[in-house]
Chains A and B, each alone.
Chain A
Amino acid sequence: MRRFFAGIVVAALVGAVAACGSSGDSGSDAGGGVDKVKVGVIPIVDVAPIYLGQQKGFFANRKIELTMESGQGGAAIVPGVISGQFQFGFSNITSLLIAQTKNVPIKVVANGVASTGKTGADFGGVAVGKDSPIKTAADLAGKKVAVNTLKNIGDTATRESVRKAGGDPNGINFVEMPFANMPAALASKQVDAVFVVEPALSAVTSAGGRVAAWCYVDTAPDLTVAAYFASTKLIADDPDLVKRFTEAINESLAYADAHPDEVRAVLGSYTKIDPKIRESLTLPKWPAEINRSSVETLAKLGAQDGIFTGTPDLGKLLP
């Protein structure tokens, strides 16, 4: 009995030491030295540029020691940025617009990822099964469509696709489930269509499915899909760090856009995407500029679809 408790105490001590060791300092140290920066990202294809940029030293050159913290979604990343656990975060535009209407104290600092703008070759779309009767976007009216988050960019873009094809977007039944579960749900006909992005898109198409609506392309030309953001407090306290980070990100985005093979290679370092799929999946575009008019379109659509009450103040949100 005594030995048991002794063992537990030892284990607890070891654990406590390990815990102290692993929780490093999260702040940046003022001027002169290197800034330690934590970025909250989701381990998906979209954030390949920041990993590539770190590899190439774009951040180290600007005296930024970068650590990527994988969160599993905005729910974990936004609170982290606000409380100062992370200095920067990655999130899709619609979530940022919603946050803006609720006066969450964050601001976009750099572009994150954009649609390729090419029908037939984009990194996201609404896909249907092999023998689905749905042929065009208009056929999606009244059907059950799976999206990864309700009242977000997925359903907004889908509705716009249907609208542009002349269908009625209001009768669509949206169901929420993670991307990973969508291929199975589509195959077993639990849903009629799925809004997917890479790599789940490749999983669906290789199982025989096809894309019925290229919703990112339909929503706006060269749609900005996601962006890097920071808390307004950090921007006020350390504008120099924000400026350097933004420059590094822009350099990384440009490099990633120009070197797709290196992007595919770096994907292997932070995801478990199968190497064959890595070679064949459609990469998004990574422009260094945020397409302001596409963000305005998303804001307009969001207000129209009732995703947020009131209109987001883009002047406050965008750099």
Chain B
Amino acid sequence: MKRLALALGLPVVLFVVWFVASYGSESFYVPPLRRILGAFADTWTLERLRTDVLPSLGRLAVGYALAATLGIAVGVAIGAYPRLRAAAEPVLEFFRAIPPPVLVPVIMLFAGIGNGMKVIVIAVGCVWPVLLNTVEGIRAVDGVLSDTARAYGITGVARLRHLLLRGASPQIAAGLRQALSIAIILMVISEMFAASNGLGFAIVQFQRSFAIPEMWSGIILLGLLGFTLSMLFRFVERRALGWYNGLREAQRKGS
């Protein structure tokens, strides 16, 4: 009960403040919250959720999975071999600094204008936190642990699985978490070019056609989506990193 109250407490307070503060708003671009809520109910029908939100989620899922796989695979390689890291880092930093809206036209050249392009934009944009954090995690594996493993003859795949990945997993999890929020942003950006459906597409079209309450309702939906995905992620993370959390908990409570 207490947990529920804590989780809902602040959001409810902020919501009420927003509602009251904007009640009589005359501003065109910041309409009263009650208008936005009304638009929310009218716009996001089950039909629309199916035609716009579902495709967006699908592309998001594929792009994110691609980024996660690539990021961890390349990250492990780079983290484990200092020479490779030294060679690759400037190139990676170079691409990572290029803003996605600028990169999209270039990606369009090679990937066309369909779903593939959007998935690639999402993947290319959100692979960086995963990659970076994996590299950091691998580098930070406890030296003593690493030497002990070598002394016991644990090499190859077993070393990768039990030492490197396990040891780096808290950092990798942090990276995956950030990649998720970046992926959602890119989902919106990728739908600004050559798109015909999608949540981001709908929001941008509302903005263009001056349907402002609908635009805000779309943004709220985006926030809800991000929140839900984040909760999902947290749930999975707690399961997968149970050993780490348990270790910390035990250290906290015991000793």
Tell whether A and B belong to one assembly. yes
Q: B208 is contacted by which of A149, A175, A177 (Cβ under 8 Å)? A: A149
Q: Contact at B194–A176, with CB atoms within 8 Å?
A: yes
Q: Contact at A74–B208, with CB atoms within 8 Å?
A: yes
* Bound Cα distance A188, B111 (Å): 11
**Which of A95, A152, A178, A307 has the most chain B CB atoms closer than 10 A to its own CB?**
A178
Q: Decide yes or no: A177 and B113 within 8 Å by CB, A82-B28, A82-B29 being known contacts.
A: yes
A8 at interface, CB cutoff 8 A: no
Q: Contact at A151–B209, with CB atoms within 8 Å?
A: yes
A150 at interface, CB cutoff 8 A: yes
B196 at interface, CB cutoff 8 A: yes
Q: Contact at B209–A191, with CB atoms within 8 Å?
A: no
Q: Mark A170-181, 1 if CB is under 8 A from B, else 0.
A: 000001111011
Interface residue range, chain A:
20 to 34
Nearest-CB distance from A305 to chain B (Å)?
13
B195 at interface, CB cutoff 8 A: yes
**Which of B193, B205, B209, B211 has the most chain A CB atoms closer than 10 A to its own CB?**
B209
**Which of A82, A104, A177, A191 has the most chain B CB atoms closer than 10 A to its own CB?**
A177
B24 at interface, CB cutoff 8 A: no
Nearest-CB distance from A214 to chain B (Å)?
25
A75 at interface, CB cutoff 8 A: yes
A62 at interface, CB cutoff 8 A: no
Q: Contact at B113–A178, with CB atoms within 8 Å?
A: no
Q: Contact at A190–B105, with CB atoms within 8 Å?
A: no
Q: Contact at B109–A188, with CB atoms within 8 Å?
A: yes
Q: Contact at B194–A184, with CB atoms within 8 Å?
A: no
Q: Contact at A191–B113, with CB atoms within 8 Å?
A: yes
B108 at interface, CB cutoff 8 A: yes
B-contacting residues, A279-309, CB 8 Å: 307-308
Chain B contacts of A146 at CB under 8 A?
A: 194
Nearest-CB distance from A61 to chain B (Å)?
34
* Bound Cα distance A149, B205 (Å): 9
Q: Contact at A184–B29, with CB atoms within 8 Å?
A: no
B15 at interface, CB cutoff 8 A: no
B-contacting residues, A138-159, CB 8 Å: 146, 149-152
Q: Contact at B105–A102, with CB atoms within 8 Å?
A: no
Chain B contacts of A74 at CB under 8 A?
A: 208
* Bound Cα distance A241, B112 (Å): 49
Chain A contacts of B23 at CB under 8 A?
A: none
* Bound Cα distance A181, B207 (Å): 22
Q: Contact at A181–B28, with CB atoms within 8 Å?
A: no
Interface of B is mostly: loop
Nearest-CB distance from B25 to chain A (Å)?
13
Q: A78 is contacted by which of B105, B112, B210, B211 (Cβ under 8 Å)? A: B210
* Bound Cα distance A152, B207 (Å): 13
* Bound Cα distance A78, B193 (Å): 21
Chain B contacts of A149 at CB under 8 A?
A: 208
Q: Contact at B208–A105, with CB atoms within 8 Å?
A: no
Nearest-CB distance from A74 to chain B (Å)?
7
* Bound Cα distance A102, B193 (Å): 25
A-contacting residues, B205-238, CB 8 Å: 205, 207-212
Q: Contact at A180–B105, with CB atoms within 8 Å?
A: yes
Q: Please give me the residue from chain B that is nearest to A175 by CB atom.
A: B194
Chain B contacts of A79 at CB under 8 A?
A: 29
Q: Please give me the residue from chain A that is nearest to B108 by CB atom.
A: A181
Chain A contacts of B108 at CB under 8 A?
A: 177, 181, 184-185, 190
Q: B105 is contacted by which of A82, A104, A105, A181 (Cβ under 8 Å)? A: A181
Q: Contact at B193–A105, with CB atoms within 8 Å?
A: no
Chain B contacts of A151 at CB under 8 A?
A: 205, 208-209
Nearest-CB distance from B118 to chain A (Å)?
13
Q: Please give me the residue from chain A that is nearest to B195 by CB atom.
A: A176
Chain B contacts of A78 at CB under 8 A?
A: 210
Q: Contact at A176–B209, with CB atoms within 8 Å?
A: no
Q: Please give me the residue from chain B that is nearest to A184 by CB atom.
A: B109
**Which of B109, B207, B210, B212 has the most chain A CB atoms closer than 10 A to its own CB?**
B210
Q: Contact at B113–A190, with CB atoms within 8 Å?
A: yes
Residue pairs across A and B with Cβ atoms less than 8 A apart, 16 shown, are A78-B210, A79-B29, A82-B28, A82-B29, A95-B208, A102-B211, A102-B212, A104-B28, A151-B209, A152-B208, A175-B194, A176-B195, A177-B194, A181-B108, A188-B109, A190-B112
CB-based closest 3 A-B pairs: A102-B210, A177-B194, A181-B105
Chain A residues close to B by CB (< 8 Å)? 74-75, 78-79, 82-83, 95, 98-99, 102, 104-105, 146, 149-152, 175-178, 180-181, 184-185, 188, 190-191, 307-308
Given contacts A99-B210, A191-B113, A308-B209, 15 further A-B contacts (CB under 8 A): A82-B29, A83-B29, A102-B209, A102-B210, A149-B208, A151-B205, A175-B113, A175-B194, A177-B113, A177-B194, A184-B105, A184-B108, A184-B109, A185-B108, A190-B113
